[in-house]
Structure 1
Amino acid sequence: MMNAKLRMEGLHEPSISTAPDRIWEAQHRKEMAKREPTWEEVWCNGWTSHTGTVKKAIFQTGLTDLDKERLKTVKAAIDAGEIGVGVESLRKFTKAHALRLWRELQELRKHTILKDMVDKTPTNYRLIQTEQQLAQLVADLQQETIVAFDTETTGLDVYNDVIVGMSLTLPKADYHVYIPVDHKVGKQLERATVLSRLEPFLSSPYIGKVLHNAKYDIHMLLRHGVRMRGLVHDTRVAMALLNENEPSFALKNLATKYGKYFGFHDTSHTFEDLFGKTRFDDVPFDVALVYAAKDTHLTWKLYLWQREHLNRLSKLDGLYRDLENPLIDVCVDMEQAGFLIDRQYAVIYAEELRQEITKLQQSLHDHFGNLNFNSPIQLAKKFYDELQLPEVNGRSTDVKTLKALCDKHPGIEVLLRYRELSKLLSTYVESLPEKMKSDGRIHGSFNQVATVTGRFSSNEPNLQNLPTKARKLIVAPTGKLLVGSDFSQIEPRVLAHISGDHHLQEPYLNGQDLYSTLASRVFKVPIEDCGDGSKYRKMMKVGLLAILYGTSMYTLSEQLGIEVDEAQAFIQDVFRTYPRVHSFIKDTHEFVKENEYVETLYGRKRRFPGHRQKAKVYDRTVDEICRLLGVDELPVDFWQNKAIPRELKNQLRDVKRDVESARRQSVNAIIQGTAADIMKRAMLNLHQYCVKKGWALCGTVHDEALIIVDASISAQEVAELEQCMTSAAQLDVPLKVDTDLMTRWGEGISKKEWFISAA
C-alpha cells in the first residue's frame, strides 16, 4: 500500500516542480514575441524568433552579385537617413522588402542621377543634329577600321518598333556620338537621311563592328532596309563563352560588375532604372546623348577587355571567331525566314480539340463528380481523402504522380488525356496563330548561348517543347517543301569517339544498330532478340543515356520499371562491358574535381566554381564510411545503417547533392556540348549552301535542322544537304543524318519514300 502511495505521489511531483518553469517559459515567450531584432541582426548576424525559428540575416541568404550591391545601397541609404525602413517592425524587414526599397530609392534618386549624368557628360560625347556634323562623322568613319555601334528604339519588337537614334564609338577619332532621328521633340535629322549616309559604312564587311546583343540591332536595321555586315564581336555572346555562369548578360550589369577593370568604376544604370516605362523617343537630347553614347563606349571597353582574355585562350577564341560570331547572322536569317502558319487548319483543329475536351470533361464528372479539374487542391481532396488513393509525392497531382496512380482508378487516365489536350489547345493551337506577324508567319527567337552546354534554345515559340500535334500547324509555302535533317544518335557517337571504346565504336563502323548491339552484349542474349521494338533494345536506349549522364540507380529503376538492385546491376554490367566508357566518366569526375571545369572537343568550357573543395570532402567522407563498413563502395541503404556516425552522414549530406550534380553536368557538358558544337558547325555549312541555292534555313530543334526548299528539290540536292551536316566533324565513327521531306511539319516522308513516290 505504501509503495502504491509512493508511486501515486511520484506521478504528481514533475508537474509541481515544473510549474514555475512553465510560467517562466510563457513569460519569456511573451517577451521574445515583443523583442525587436537589432539592425545588425537583420542585415548581418541573424536572429531567433519567439517560436525558436532561426531567421537568417539578409546578407546570409543566397544573393546574386547584383542583388548584393543593391542591398548594400539600401542599407547605406537608410543609415544615412535618405529613406526610412518602411515597416513598423524590423521583424518584417526582409530581403524582398529591402529590394522593393531599392526600387523606390531609384525613383527618388532618378532625377539626381540623370542631372549628375548630364553634368558629367564627357567632352568627347557628341550629339549629331546637322548635315555638317553628319558629314564630319561620315568622313571620320572612313578612317576607322573597327567601331562600336548601337541603336535606340521605341521597343523590343524588331518587326514593329522603329529606330529613334543610333550611337557610335570611333576609337581612332576618340569620340562617341548619338544621332537622334525620331525623337518627339528637338532638332534632328530624318532617319532616312541618316541611314542613307551611314548605309555604305554599315553594310561594308571591311569596317568591323562591335555590338552588344548584335542580333537585335541587325534586325532593327533590316526593319529600315539596311543589312549590317562586318560584325567582328558581340560582347554578349563572347561573355557567355568567358563565363556561362553569369547571372545577367545585360550590358549595364556586366559593366557594373567588371567596369572597374576597364575604366568604369561607377554603377552603370539600366534603361529601366533611369526611364522605367518611358520610351526613348521621349527622352531629352542631353540625357539621350550621355546614355546612348555611353552604351557604345561601354561596349567598346568591354570588347577590349574580353579580347585580352580571349587572346590568352586560343581554343576558346577560335570557337568564338569561327563558330559563334558567324552564327549570329545565321540566327538573324532564320528568324527573318520564320514559319508559315496554316490558320485555317488551326481553326478546324481547335474546334476538334474543344469537342474532345468537352467529352473528356463529361467523363471526368462521371468518374469524380462535380470538380474543378484544373484545381490541384480539389483533386488532392478527391483522390487522397475521399477515394483513399495511395499518397504519392506528398499528395501531388502532377503528371508524374498521376501516371503512377493510373492503375488505381480508371478516371486518372482520362484526366491525363484531358490535361494533355487542354494544354495543346490553349498553349499552342490557339496561341500560335496569335503570334503571327503581318506576313502570316511566326518569327521566333533563336538563342545560341542561352544554355550552359551551348545548345540552341528558342522562344516565341519554344520549338524544343512544341508537341508533334502542334507542329502540324506549320506548313511549307506554296511551291516549297520543309526538309528536316536530323543527326542520328549524335551524342552516343560523340561518346564513342571521346571515350575511344572500340566496342561502342564497332556498331557504327560496321553499319549495325547501336542499341541492339549493346543490348545483346549487356544482356547476353542473341542479337536477333534485341531488334527494334524489343524490350532489351528499349531498356538499352534509355539506360545508356541515363548512365552516361549520371542518373542514379533509383531514377533508372523508375525509368526502366525494374527494382533498384536490378538497376544497380544494370549499371555495373554496362560499365563492365564498356570499360573505356566507365574510365572516361571517372576521369572526367577527377578532372573537374581538380580543375573545376571541363571543355568540349572544340574548347567550349563548362565551369564549376567551388566544386574542388566540396568534391574532396565528399570523397574523403565516402572513403571513411566505406572503411567503417568494410566495403569498396557505398551500399544502397547506407543512410539507414546505424553503424555510420551521424556526423559522417551529415557531412556527406551537406555536399552530396552539389557534388553529384557537378559530376553529372560535367560529363553532360562534354558530350552534349560537343554535339551542340557539331550541330552549329553543320548550321554554318547549311546556311552557306542555302544562300547559294536561294533556300532558307529556318530553324533548329535539338539535333535537327529545318530548311525551306524548292518543291522540285532533287535526291542529289538532299544528299548535298546531308553532306553539309556530316562533314561538320571528323570523328572516329561516321556521322549519319536522317532526312524527311514534308509539306506540313510532323507529317514527314523519308527521302527514300519521297523520291520513290515522286518517280
Structure 2
Amino acid sequence: MVCGRRPMLHRTHGYRNVAFRCCYIGTWDIVLQSVIRQPAVSDGRDCFEPECQTACIIGLHESCQLEGDMTTATTIPMLEDEQLLLILDGHALVHRAWHAIREPLNVRSTGEEVRAVFGFLNSFIKTISDRKPTHIVITFDLPQPTFRHLKFKDYKAHRPPTPPELRGQFSRIRQLMEAFGVPIFEQAGFEADDLIGTLCRQAEEQKIDTIVLTGDTDTLQLVSPHVRVLLSFAVQKRTLYDDSAVRERYGGLGPESIAEIKALEGDTSDNIPGVPGIGRKTAIKLLAEFGSLDGIYENLEGVTPPRAKKSLTENREIAERALFLTTILRDAPVTLDIDASEFWTFDRSKVVDFLKELEFFSMVSRIPTNRRDGQLAMEVEEFDFESAPVDYKIVDTKDALEELAVELAKPQGFSFDTETDSINPMQAQLVGLSFSSSPQKAWYVPVGHNEGKQLPMAQVLERLGPILTDPDIPKVAHNANYDIMVLENHGVSLQGLELDTMLAAHASGRKAVGLKALALDLFHEEMMPITDLIGKGRKQITMAEVEIEKAAPYAAADADFTERLRGELSRELEERDLRGLMDDVETPLVQVLVRMQRDGVDLDVDLLKKMSVDLSGQLADIQNNMYATIGHEFNLNSSQQLGDVLFNELHLPPTKRTKTGHSTDAASLDGLKFFLDSGKAEGVDPKSYEVLDSILEYRQLSKIKSTYVDALPGLVNPDTGRIHTKYNQVGSATGRVSSNDPNVQNIPVRTELGRQVRKAFVAEGAPDWSLLAADYSQIELRVLAHLSEDPALIDAFHRGEDIHSSTSAMVYDVPIDEVTADQRRFAKILNFGVLYGLTAFGISRQTDLTPDQGQRFIDLYFEKYPHIRKYTDETKERCRALGYVETVLGRRRYLPDIRSRNFNVRAGAERAAINMPIQGTAADIIKIAMIRIMERMDDLGMRSKMILQVHDELIFEVPADEMSQMQEIVMELMPSALSMNVPLSVDLKAGYTWGDMD
C-alpha cells in the first residue's frame, strides 16, 4: 500500500504518519570534532545534522548513549482507561534548553536562532517517550508583574533581562505546542508555578495522575499521592520525585515543608534573602523538630544554637515574607479541561511542516506515534509492487539478474546501496544490494537474508562484480566509504565512483547531509526509518532477519533517492562552481581513505597495559597526597564534593553557578589558576596552588587512561590484529577529515603522556619496517600569507625564515638573530591568534601582559602586517553580504550568525569566517597530497602504506628498501599539492613508533 510516490507508508487514525531515521552522528564544527556516534545497526549513511550533533554532544539524545541508537520514531503504548497528565513548566524548560546548548543553532535559509526550540523539542519528545502521557498542557509566565512583585518590589529584581535571541524563540515554542495541540496556560498577575499548582489540584480532584516536568525545585511542594515532579537538570539527568523521594532529599521532611525550607534558607535565584545564618541543614533540623515555621516561632526558647535563635528573632518579618513568596498558589483563575488536553489527536502534518520550516529534519522521525488496545496504530504495510507509482523490483531469478546487469552496464551509470548486518564496515556481511538507474526506478537483490527466495551471493557477485569494478561505468552512492568497504569484504573493489551525494551536500554547505534528511529537504518526501524494520534496543534484529518483501522497498528507496539526489546535487555543484572540488578532491579521496581504513595500524597492546598499571598507581598517589593535603578523603570525581573543598575549605572565589553548586570544569579551574597567578589571592588558603595543580594533573591522567590507554586495546580487530580507524569527510564544517574508533587526531601531542600513547602505534615487522611522518610546516600561516597577500609575510616564507622569529623581529624592531625565546613565544601567540580571532584578553591569559598591553601588541602586529588586517576585514564584510565564506577551491560554509545583533554570537561567527577559508584550504591541500601520493604508490607497485592522517600530518608504514623512495615521493608531491604564492614546507621524521617521531 502506498501514497503518492512513497514506497512505504504508515497510517495513524487517518493521518499520514511516515518518518525518516537519523542513524549516524557526525561532529559539529571544529570545536566538537571529538564526538562521533553510530547506532546499533545501520549503514551509517543517514544523518550528519548539526542540530543532532549538538544534541549528542550535550547529552540530549539519550538513546544514543544508552543503546547506541539515535533518533528514531517513538511508538508509545497507551491504554484508554489509564490517564496521565503531563504539565510542562514552559519558561523553566526553555531557559534550560537555551543554556544547555552553548553553540548557536540557526535556520540556514533565514539565520533565525532556534537552539532553545530544538532543545525544548528534544526534551518534550523524550518525556513523551519515557512517561507516555495521555494528556499534556503547558504553562508560561507573562512579562507583566505578578501579585508577588506588586507586594515586594525586590522579588526577582536582580534577574537579567531575557536575551533578545531567546525572547523570540518563545513564540516559536508556542507555535510548536499549538501544532501538537497542547493547551497553553498563562495568566496575568500569576506565575506559571501558580498555574501549575492549580492545575495539579484540579487534576487530583478528578483523580488523574499528574507529572510536572520542570527544572524548579519549588514545585516539589506540589507532590502528593496523585502528583509527581520530574526535576530536569538535563535530559540525561532527571529525577522523578514522589513523597518518599522528597523526604529522602530533605532529611525526612515532606512536600508540605518545601516552601518553609526555602523561606528559611532563602533563594538567591528569586532574590529571596531568607533568614541570615540559616542554611538548608539548619532549616531542615528546625522544621523536623518544630514542624513548621509557626512552630519554630512558637518555641523560640527551645531553638539551638543560640545564633540561630537570635537571627530568627531579629528576622521574623523576613522569614514570613519569604514564606509568602515561596508558597505556590493552588487557586489561580485557570480551569483544566481534560478533554481539550488529550494529546494523541494532533495533526502530524502540521508538526512536520513546522519542523521542516526550522530545518529540524532529524526530528521528523521522532514525532511520537500512538498504540491503542495493544495494537500497532503505525504498522508497516505490505508494499504492492504491481500498483505502486514507483517501479521497484526484487531480483531473485537468473533472468531478472541478467536483465538488471544489462541495465547497469549502460553508459549513464547508476546509484547503488548496500544492506548489511553491522555498522562496522570491517565486519559487515552483505545482506542485499539495491540499484537505481533513473528516478523512481530501482531493484533490490537479496543475497544474505536468513529466509526467502534469493540468489546465491556468489552468483550475484560473479555477474555484477565486473560492472561494479568497471571504471568506465559511473557509480553514485551516499556515504560511499561504507559501501566500498563492505564490497571489498566480499572481493569486489569498486571502481568508477562518480559522486558521493553525502559529500556533495556537505561541500556545498548544506546543513542536512543525511539521505533521509535530504529527501525531506529537497523532495519533500519522508522515507521509512530502518528501525521500522529492525526495531531498536535489546529487541533489535539485523537486516538479515527481516523478510525480503519488507526489506526490498526500504532498500530500493535508498538507491532511488540517491539517484534523485545525483541529478539535484550535480546541478547545485555546477551552479556553485564546486564540480572541480568534488571531482578532483572529495570523490577520489574516498578510495584513499578506504585503503587507509582497511590497512589500519599496528598497536603495541603490551605497552598500553603497562601504561595502564603505571597510571593507576600515579592516580592513587595523587589521590592520597590530596587527602593528606586537605586533611580528609573526598571524591575527586564529584564536582559537588570538589567544589566544597575548593570554595568552602580553601576559600577560592566561587566560579559560575551550576545546579549542584559552583562549576569545577576545566575552564573554571584554569580561571582559578589565572586568578591565583594574578596575585589577587588574599584570604585564599596557600594550599590552593598545590591542590589545583593536583586536580588538573589527576584529570589529565584519568582522561588519557580511560580514553586511550584502556580503550585502544579493545579496538584491535581480532582478524587483522590492527586498529582500523574510521575517517569522516563530513565531520567538520571547514572540510577537515575527522576520525573515530579511535579518534587519533585528539591524542595529545605536546605532553609526555601523549607521546607515550603514540609510542603504542608501531610499525609492524620492525626493524624491517619503519614509520615515516610527513608534516606540513606552519601550513595555515602559509595559507594566510597566500590569501592576504601580505608582502612582509610572503617575503619571510620565501626567505625560509622562522616565521615566529621574523614576526618577533618586526614587532619588537630588533634584528632577527637577537630575538629572545620569550619574544618568539609571544610572536607565535600573535601569529596563531590571528587565525583563531585571539583577543587582547586571550593574549593576557597566555602571557604576563594586561589586556590593554595585549591590545597594543595586536594593533602593532596589524600595523606591521597591514594586508592581514585588510584580509580579515574584507572577509567579514564579504561574509555579511553573501552569508557564507569559501576556501580557495570553493568549499562553502554558511554563517548566518554573522548578522546577529548579539555581540558574542556575531563575534564567534566573525572568527569562524576568518578561520574557515584558511583551515579549509589547508585541509584541501593535504587531501590533494594524499590522493597524488596514493596514485604514485600504486603506479610504482610499492608495498608502503599510508596508514594515518592527523590534521597536517601523514603517517606511512614503509619497508626499509622503500624508505628513500618514499621520502622522495613525499617531498615531491606534498609541497606541490596546490600552487600558492608561498612555498609549502614539509618536515620528515622516521622511527619504529609514532611517538619516536614527535
CA contact (8 A) 1:118 1:286 kept: no
Q: What is the alpha-carbon distance in structure 2 between the residues aligned to residue 41 and residue 204 of structure 1?
A: 51
Q: What is the alpha-carbon distance in structure 2 between the residues aligned to residue 487 and residue 593 of structure 1?
A: 32
Q: What is the alpha-carbon distance in structure 2 between the residues aligned to residue 507 and residue 23 of structure 1?
A: 65
- 1:657 aligned onto 2:891: no
CA contact (8 A) 2:181 2:345 kept: no
User: Which shifted more, 417-426 or 731-740?
Assistant: 417-426
Matching residue of 1:341? 603
- 1:296 aligned onto 2:559: yes
| Bigger RCO of structures 1 and 2 (CA < 8 A, at least 6 apart) | 2
Distance verdict in 2 for CA 1:452–1:224, change over 3 Å: same
Query: Counterpart of 1:498 in structure 2: which amino acid?
Result: L
Query: Counterpart of 1:455 in structure 2: which amino acid?
Result: R
- 1:701 aligned onto 2:943: no
Q: What is the alpha-carbon distance in structure 2 between the residues aligned to residue 106 and residue 490 of structure 1?
A: 58
Cα deviation, residue 513, structure 1: 1.0
Cα deviation, residue 116, structure 1: 6.3
Query: Counterpart of 2:925 in structure 1: which amino acid?
Result: I
Residues 460-471 of structure 1 mapped to structure 2, 5 A cutoff: 460-467=741-748, 468=754, 469-471=756-758
CA-to-partner distance for each residue in 1:642-679, whole Å, 9 max, x for gaps? xxxxxxxxxxxx42122212211111011111111111
Counterpart pick for 2:713 among 417, 426, 433: 433
Aligned-partner SS, 2:498: strand
Counterpart pick for 2:733 among 452, 455, 477: 452
User: Which shifted more, 151-160 or 215-224?
Assistant: 151-160
Q: What is the alpha-carbon distance in structure 2 between the residues aligned to residue 129 and residue 149 of structure 1?
A: 17
- 1:474 aligned onto 2:761: yes
Residues 163-202 of structure 1 mapped to structure 2, 5 A cutoff: 163-171=430-438, 175-202=441-468
Counterpart pick for 1:679 among 923, 926, 930: 926
Q: What is the alpha-carbon distance in structure 2 between the residues aligned to residue 222 and residue 41 of structure 1?
A: 47
Q: What is the alpha-carbon distance in structure 2 between the residues aligned to residue 662 and residue 22 of structure 1?
A: 41
CA contact (8 A) 1:547 1:571 kept: no
Cα deviation, residue 313, structure 1: 2.5
CA-to-partner distance for each residue in 1:76-135, whole Å, 9 max, x for gaps? 98345999x9xxxxxxxxx9xx99982444997675443467786446211111222212
CA contact (8 A) 2:438 2:560 kept: no
Query: Counterpart of 2:717 in structure 1: which amino acid?
Result: K
Q: What is the alpha-carbon distance in structure 1 between the residues aligned to residue 382 and residue 637 of structure 2?
A: 52
Matching residue of 1:503? 792
CA-to-partner distance for each residue in 1:269-300, whole Å, 9 max, x for gaps? 22125542332122222222211111111110
Q: What is the alpha-carbon distance in structure 2 between the residues aligned to residue 288 and residue 514 of structure 1?
A: 59
Matching residue of 2:702? 422
Distance verdict in 2 for CA 1:508–1:450, change over 3 Å: same
Query: Counterpart of 1:605 in structure 2: which amino acid?
Result: R
CA contact (8 A) 2:452 2:548 kept: yes
Residues 665-744 of structure 1 mapped to structure 2, 5 A cutoff: 665-691=912-938, 692=940, 693-715=942-964, 717-744=966-993
Counterpart pick for 2:529 among 270, 273, 285: 270
Cα deviation, residue 48, structure 1: 4.1
TM-score between both structures, scaled by the size of structure 2: 0.60
Matching residue of 2:103? none
- 1:51 aligned onto 2:170: no
Aligned-partner SS, 2:961: coil
CA contact (8 A) 1:48 1:54 kept: no
CA contact (8 A) 1:145 1:206 kept: no
Q: What is the alpha-carbon distance in structure 2 between the residues aligned to residue 242 and residue 295 of structure 1?
A: 21
Q: What is the alpha-carbon distance in structure 1 between the residues aligned to residue 787 and residue 859 of structure 2?
A: 21
CA contact (8 A) 2:180 2:346 kept: no
Q: What is the alpha-carbon distance in structure 1 between the residues aligned to residue 859 and residue 967 of structure 2?
A: 42
Aligned-partner SS, 1:674: helix
Cα deviation, residue 169, structure 1: 1.1
Matching residue of 1:565? 852
User: Which shifted more, 283-292 or 108-117?
Assistant: 108-117
CA contact (8 A) 1:464 1:702 kept: yes
CA contact (8 A) 2:773 2:990 kept: yes
CA contact (8 A) 1:148 1:297 kept: yes
For structure 1, the residue ranges without an aligned partner over 5 or more in a row are: 1-20, 30-36, 59-74, 86-94, 261-265, 615-653, 750-759
User: Which shifted more, 710-719 or 585-594?
Assistant: 710-719
Q: What is the alpha-carbon distance in structure 2 between the residues aligned to residue 658 and residue 274 of structure 1?
A: 42
For structure 2, the residue ranges without an aligned partner over 5 or more in a row are: 1-146, 156-173, 196-212, 214-340, 352-359, 677-687, 749-753
Matching residue of 1:226? 492
CA-to-partner distance for each residue in 1:380-430, whole Å, 9 max, x for gaps? 001101221233444332233334445533122222222221222121111
Aligned-partner SS, 2:381: helix
Q: What is the alpha-carbon distance in structure 2 between the residues aligned to residue 110 and residue 320 of structure 1?
A: 44
Query: Counterpart of 2:800 in structure 1: which amino acid?
Result: G
Say how many residue pairs are matched.
639
CA contact (8 A) 2:344 2:370 kept: no
Aligned-partner SS, 2:974: helix
Q: What is the alpha-carbon distance in structure 1 between the residues aligned to residue 570 and residue 714 of structure 2?
A: 43
Aligned-partner SS, 1:700: strand
Aligned-partner SS, 2:344: helix
Query: Counterpart of 1:356 in structure 2: which amino acid?
Result: Q
Distance verdict in 2 for CA 1:461–1:720, change over 3 Å: same
Matching residue of 1:650? none
Aligned-partner SS, 1:712: helix
CA contact (8 A) 1:463 1:701 kept: yes
CA contact (8 A) 1:117 1:290 kept: no
Q: What is the alpha-carbon distance in structure 2 between the residues aligned to residue 445 and residue 106 of structure 1?
A: 39
Cα deviation, residue 41, structure 1: 10
- 1:598 aligned onto 2:878: no
CA contact (8 A) 2:501 2:566 kept: yes
Matching residue of 1:204? 470
Matching residue of 1:312? 575
Matching residue of 1:624? none
Aligned-partner SS, 2:994: coil
CA contact (8 A) 1:144 1:171 kept: no
CA contact (8 A) 1:158 1:216 kept: yes
Q: What is the alpha-carbon distance in structure 1 between the residues aligned to residue 603 and residue 922 of structure 2?
A: 30
Q: What is the alpha-carbon distance in structure 2 between the residues aligned to residue 139 and residue 593 of structure 1?
A: 51
Counterpart pick for 1:413 among 674, 680, 693: 693
Aligned-partner SS, 1:452: coil
CA contact (8 A) 2:727 2:737 kept: yes
RMSD: 3.2
CA contact (8 A) 1:46 1:54 kept: no
Query: Counterpart of 1:102 in structure 2: which amino acid?
Result: I
- 1:550 aligned onto 2:814: no
Query: Counterpart of 1:359 in structure 2: which amino acid?
Result: D
Matching residue of 1:323? 585
- 1:377 aligned onto 2:643: no
TM-score between both structures, scaled by the size of structure 1: 0.79
Identity among equivalent pairs (%): 32
Distance verdict in 2 for CA 1:147–1:40, change over 3 Å: closer
Distance verdict in 2 for CA 1:409–1:549, change over 3 Å: closer
CA-to-partner distance for each residue in 1:692-740, whole Å, 9 max, x for gaps? 3221111211100111111234445413212210010121111100111
Distance verdict in 2 for CA 1:117–1:280, change over 3 Å: farther
Distance verdict in 2 for CA 1:152–1:106, change over 3 Å: farther
CA contact (8 A) 2:383 2:549 kept: no
